[in-house]
Amino acid sequence: MSLPSRPRFILTSRARIRLGIVAVAAAVAIGTIVFHILEGWSIVDSVYVTAQTVTTVGFGDLAPRTVAGRTFATVFMMVSVGIVLYALTSTVQGIVQSEMISTFGQLRRSMKMSKLRDHFIICGAGRVGSNLIRALQGSSDTFVVIESDRTKVEELTDLGISVLVRDATLEESLREAGVVHARGLASCLPDDADNVYVVLTARDLNPELHIVARAAEEQAESKLIRAGANRVVAPTIIGGHRMAMALTKPAVGDFLDSVTANDLELGFEQLEVESGSSLIGLKLSETNIRSELDIVIVSIRRSNGEIVFNPTGDAKIQSGDMLIAIGRAEALAKLTTLARGN
């Protein structure tokens, strides 16, 4: 789900604040130099008198004695008062505008999120979460990110990604992200205890939600499963397996890397065969899946949980089957349409 880029007047108000600060600094510098030249005061005394003039304090212990000095002081007082007033009003206006825009922006995003259906929620935008976000950006899926780090939030917002500045472990944060109507949730927080808490809360709010959780430590996997996660991903374990494969079976590792990076323009897809599909009752050899679409069916998961790995051409497609397929994106889209019966 994309959000509009940051409003231009926020940048304008910040520019006005910076301009006000620069103007005050320039006025102090100019006043110091001119008083030093006209009155012969030291730099410290010149800065002192300039600060009195700019701030309208005017203790009067030092006063210009020359005609030129008094003339400059008169003009400088009128100009510097205007500069200071401009700087103060710009600063106050900028702060108020920023707060109002931030508040209204959050309200607007909350209203949009309350209307979301069948979307994904990503909790945490760290190293694992960032990679997941990049992967989802290349798809047509709608997703929401919950992140408490302001720096990461600004980076994601600049990319047009919908972000909630919240603590993902809180129930109200998950509710605001639309967990009740979500399709899936990924808990990518760096702390295993926080991930367990997110999984427990999300499972309680939506018993049908598909939950994937990150495990920093291997022993946390069983806890996350008991908490309600459907799948647990341990980056360290997966990384170890991939390194072992790259070391012992480099050709297989290169192929998997090519598929993952989409260098071969291939992708994996899971397709549920719905009741109205024309594929129901047909053998794989009787369909156009391999002959025309050039798609390989890696496995079939039956509705009763049975998994048929590397099915032969005689394997019949049944209603409720989950087809795990590999092929090109356009072909997979056509097969998705056939499986849905559209």
The DSSP result for 246-270, as a single string, is HHH-HHHHHHHHHHHTTTTS-EEEE
Residue 12 pLDDT grade (very low, low, confident, very high; cuts 50, 70, 90): low
DSSP per-residue letters across 280-333:
TT-BGGGSSTTTTS--EEEEEE-TTS-EEES--TTPBP-TT-EEEEEE-HHHHH
Range scoring the smallest mean pLDDT among 57-66, 185-194, 207-216, 292-301: 57-66
Q: Which positions ≥6 away from 267 have C-beta within 8 Å?
A: 259, 326, 327, 328, 329, 332
Decide: helix, strand or coil at residue 274. coil
Encoding tokens for residue 90? Answer: 């710009």
* Block residue for tokens 């030092």: 62
* Block residue for tokens 């030129």: 68
Q: Where are the domains of the chain?
A: 8-112, 116-233, 265-340
Beta pairing partners, 300: 308, 323
Q: What is the per-residue pLDDT across 26-58, written as a single tens digit (0 to 9) for each?
A: 999 999 999 999 999 999 999 999 998 888 887
* Block residue for tokens 């005050």: 24
Encoding tokens for residue 241? Answer: 């397996």
Domain 265-340: CATH superfamily, name plus number:
Regulator of K+ conductance, C-terminal domain (3.30.70.1450)
pTM for the full predicted model: 0.60
The percent of residues above 70 in pLDDT, for the chain, comes to 90
CA distance linking residue 72 with residue 311, whole number of Å = 93
Q: Does domain 116-233 have CATH number 3.40.50.720?
A: yes
CATH of domain 8-112: 1.10.287.70
